[in-house]
Amino acid sequence: MKEKRERLSDWMQWSDPIDVRRRSALAMRNVFEMADPRFNHVTYIGASLSENPPHFVHHRLGWTEALPYSVVGAVIGRKITQEVGDEKVVAGQRSLLLSHFTGMDGFVHSPASPWSAPYPMDIWEQARTLYALIYWFGETGEERLLDYAEAMVDGLFKLSVPRGSERVFPANSFARCSMGPYGVGAIIDPLLWYYQMSGNHKALMVGIGTAEFFMDPANGFFDEQWGAKGFFRSVVACLNGFSKAAAVTGDPRILSRAKCLHDAAVSRCTAYGSTPCGEPACSDFELNGSALSLVQAGYPEYWDQIDRFIRNQTARSQFIDPNEYDSEKASKKRVNLYNIYDGYPDDLQVLPFDDYRDVVNRSVGGAMWCSPSGHSFFPASLMICCTSHVLRSFEIAWDHSLYETNTGLVSDLQFSVDNALGTIVSHEPKEGRAVFTFAKDTESLRIRIPSFADVGKVALSKNGESVPTRIERGYLVADRLSKGCAYDFTFPLAERESVEWQQLFEFPDYDHPAATGEYRVQWRGNSCVLL
């Protein structure tokens, strides 16, 4: 028991500042390691580090559900690291993705494979694929990708029936969805994103109509307060779409509903971002994306949640230290939890299509399912969806730590980043300090003051001398900063303790909690330093 405690507290004591580029490089490496060159670079869905020997796992969902995660992860990893990565994998996975548009309906369909049979079209998987097309188009600008996206939007438009302001998908779409009925709502966010980039009005109509359908209490998904039943990870994918709908339409009715449901979901997580589903890398990304839409809709206080969740859960869900794999504790037999190895007898020693080569080292950088107190070890619990969503959360940190607007440079988050505009070296949580340097002279800089910091005690200095600043709507503003100089942004790290509760659910019953855990947390600023 003592040993277990030490491992748990290590998890939360670990406190290097988060270097977004380094962390993203590790995650991208794992994305490439989990591609299988024997089968057109299809991705393994995960790594089973709960077993001895550990192995990368092939699954029926690998082709059309998991592959798009890998495509998205590679785009973000390449963008942040400025490294090309494994170009064979990138090219192979992209052509494999397009090869799954096999029907005349505009949708991707799972193929027959040595380890799986085809299954009916799944709207959750169309959402995954639409994200992949958008990310890929963002990198290369290839027009043909828009043809695929347009065809999918047409398909979704034809499949859904208008009813008042709502759009209703056929009942079998909900029954077939691999992520449960709420998984259909995952289509809202990428449809509205596609509308924003293309102006496609069918994407807007289906996106908003589907949001209206899910938000309407009469349809049984949510009541006025919350009322959601089902897998939390799928539920929060809907919420991400609702908040996007609020940001896109500016409709105050949608905004107040989206905000209320978002707050209800966050209240079901701990302040450090653990979730009832045990899959925080994925679920926290949905809540971070949702929070970003709420920021854009006029609520800047949601930056605080994004900062806390990325620091304490997104980054910590990564498998960084190969020594964490414990060959003694790992099961000598396969444990077929969640039907991860569906179809194979439990006494089969080595699965015919899985990969057993140097799996622990090749898993480094990948993201794991987590309990509120550490990594979870069960079959395929280091999962490609989680690694991809860690990269999507890191992308928020990357894009919003230092960027340019027409009024000057802005820093909403202060993670360690370096881009064409300059660099930030964060010292959190050891010190409340972030050092900014700029690639060119800068007219104006706006730094969001962390919500835990005493506004009267934040400061900017150069060579130990204070720089004149003013405070505007939660931001510290300084004018005329010189290229090449190091500017110290300092803020007191409030020390405090909190008690957190987390309801925990066990597969397959996501309606009734199996237990409630209590966790005492010590904080420095927004970082947990002891659990």
Binding residues for Zn ion, rule: CB under 5 A, are 279, 282, 383, 385-386
Q: Minimum distance between the CB of residue 193 and Zn ion, rounded to whole angstroms?
A: 20
Nearer to Zn ion, 279 or 354 (CB): 279
CB 358 within 8 A of CB 30: no
Nearer to Zn ion, 391 or 402 (CB): 391
Query: Which residue has tokens 């007898």?
Result: 345
Q: Minimum distance between the CB of residue 44 and Zn ion, rounded to whole angstroms?
A: 14
Nearer to Zn ion, 237 or 254 (CB): 237
At 100, the amino acid letter reads: H
Nearer to Zn ion, 186 or 205 (CB): 186
In terms of C-beta density within 10 A (0-12 exposed, 13-18 middle, 19 or more buried), how is residue 91 classed?
A: exposed
Nearer to Zn ion, 189 or 279 (CB): 279
- In a 3-state reduction of DSSP, which class is residue 42? strand
Q: Minimum distance between the CB of residue 283 and Zn ion, rounded to whole angstroms?
A: 8
Q: Minimum distance between the CB of residue 158 and Zn ion, rounded to whole angstroms?
A: 31
Q: Minimum distance between the CB of residue 15 and Zn ion, rounded to whole angstroms?
A: 25
Distances (CA, A) of 290 to 196, 223, 284, 324: 16, 19, 9, 32
Of 401, 434, 418, nearest in space to 307 by CA: 401
- Alpha-carbon distance of 463 to 457, in angstroms, equals 18
Q: Minimum distance between the CB of residue 496 and Zn ion, rounded to whole angstroms?
A: 31
Nearer to Zn ion, 315 or 434 (CB): 315
Nearer to Zn ion, 200 or 317 (CB): 317
Does the bond joining 300 to the residue before it have cis omega, within 30 degrees of 0?
Answer: no
Give the Cβ contact number of residue 264 at 10 Å: 16
Of 386, 452, 398, 462, nearest in space to 19 by CA: 398
Instruction: Report H helices in 345-453.
Output: 359-363, 384-401
CB 404 within 8 A of CB 390: no
Distances (CA, A) of 379 to 48, 102, 471, 474: 5, 31, 50, 45
Q: Minimum distance between the CB of residue 128 and Zn ion, rounded to whole angstroms?
A: 12
Nearer to Zn ion, 65 or 166 (CB): 65
Cβ partners under 8 Å of residue 164, min gap 6:
212
Q: Minimum distance between the CB of residue 155 and Zn ion, rounded to whole angstroms?
A: 26
Strand partners, 515: 504
- Alpha-carbon distance of 194 to 492, in angstroms, equals 41
Q: Minimum distance between the CB of residue 384 and Zn ion, rounded to whole angstroms?
A: 8
Nearer to Zn ion, 245 or 385 (CB): 385
- Alpha-carbon distance of 390 to 382, in angstroms, equals 12
